[in-house]
Structure 1
Amino acid sequence: MSGGLAALLDDVAAMARIAAASVDDIGAAAGRASVKAAGVVVDDTAVTPRYVTGFTADRELPMIRKIALGSLRNKLLIILPAILVLSQFVPWALTPILMVGGVYLCFEGAEKIWEKVAGHHPEQTNQPAVVQGGDQEKTMVSGAIRTDFILSAEIMVISLNEVADEGLLSRAIILVVVGIAITALVYGVVALIVKMDDVGLHLSGRESGTARKVGLGLVQGMPKLLALLSTVGMVAMLWVGGHILLVGTDELGWHGPYALVHAVEEAVHGVPALGGVLAWLANTLVSAIIGLVVGAVVVAVLHLLPKRKKVAQH
Structure 2
Amino acid sequence: MTVRIFASALLGDTHLVYDPATELTHVPGRRLSSGRLLLDDMEVAAWPTVAQRQVRTHLPFNICWSPVVRCNLACPQCLDDKTLTGVDAAARRRIAGLLAGCGTLGNDISGGEPLLLRDLPQLLQILGSGAAAVSCTTNGWHLERRAAELAQVLDAVRVSFDGPDAVSHDRWRGAGSFDRAVAGVRAAVAKDLPVQVHAVLMQSTVQRAQSVVDLAAELGAVGVTFLQMLPIGDGANLASAEMVSDTDAQRYVTAVQAPDRVRVRLRTRELADGFTVVRADGQVYRNVHGATDIQPTRPLRSATDLHLPLPQEVRA
The two structures share one fold, judged by TM-score above 0.5:
no
Structure (1/2) with the larger strand percentage: 2
User: Larger relative CO (CA 8 A, sep 6+): 1 or 2?
Assistant: 1
* TM-score normalised over the length of structure 2: 0.24
